[in-house]
């Protein structure tokens, strides 16, 4: 029996760390001391952890919250419907919010999160993603900032998965193209 090919490595663990630190350098001056970071679960958890630590080192030890949204399930394409599995736990009324996620592809999940945070009364909503993929969705709103320009491939690692597999890799790869 032949084992299936694993992901092709696109960006190393060291390059991931460098990209996160470069992004933190750009974001820190834009963030107010009482801002709240909102991580989109589950994929954004790895990036959010690294980014919030990098921001703390730069004098921005921000409050943290999360939104658990689902739209992909075990599929490789956004379903077109974003469902909230768990909402905000921290009040954001009158506060600046930075929403972070692993990858921007269709932009539908990030836009749903932006609407939820605005409805909760945030004074300003910024968005940042680790990987920005080419824009296949017409009218997709770009994030306010991103760490890495990704190819139009199915990404895994550093929070991104394929039906639950490869999410915990410390680097980012792409699944073999069919």
Asked whether the predicted pLDDT for residue 77 surpasses 60, the reply is no
Give domain limits for the chain: 9-72+80-171
Q: Which pTM value belongs to this model? A: 0.88
Query: Sheet harboring 8-11: ordered strands across?
Result: 8-11, 172-174, 155-156
Please identify, in words, the CATH class of the domain defined by 9-72+80-171: alpha beta
> 98-143: per-residue pLDDT in tens?
999 999 988 888 998 999 999 999 999 999 999 999 876 777 889 9
């Amino acid at each position: 029996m032949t084992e299936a090919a694993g992901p092709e490595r696109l960006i190393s663990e060291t390059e991931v760390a460098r990209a996160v630190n470069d992004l933190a350098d750009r974001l820190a001056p834009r963030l107010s001391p009482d801002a709240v970071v909102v991580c989109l679960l589950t994929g954004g958890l790895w990036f959010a952890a690294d980014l919030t630590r990098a921001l703390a080192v730069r004098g921005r030890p921000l409050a943290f919250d999360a939104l658990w949204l689902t739209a992909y399930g075990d599929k490789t394409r956004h379903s077109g419907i974003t469902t909230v599995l768990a909402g905000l736990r921290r009040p954001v009324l009158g506060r600046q919010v930075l929403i972070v996620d692993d990858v921007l592809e269709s932009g539908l999940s990030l836009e749903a999160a932006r609407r939820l945070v605005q409805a909760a009364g945030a004074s300003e909503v910024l968005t940042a993603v680790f990987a920005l993929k080419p824009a296949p969705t017409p009218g997709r709103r770009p994030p306010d900032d991103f760490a890495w320009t990704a190819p139009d491939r199915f990404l895994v690692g550093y929070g991104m998965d394929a039906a639950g597999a490869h999410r915990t890799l410390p680097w980012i790869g792409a699944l073999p193209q069919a």
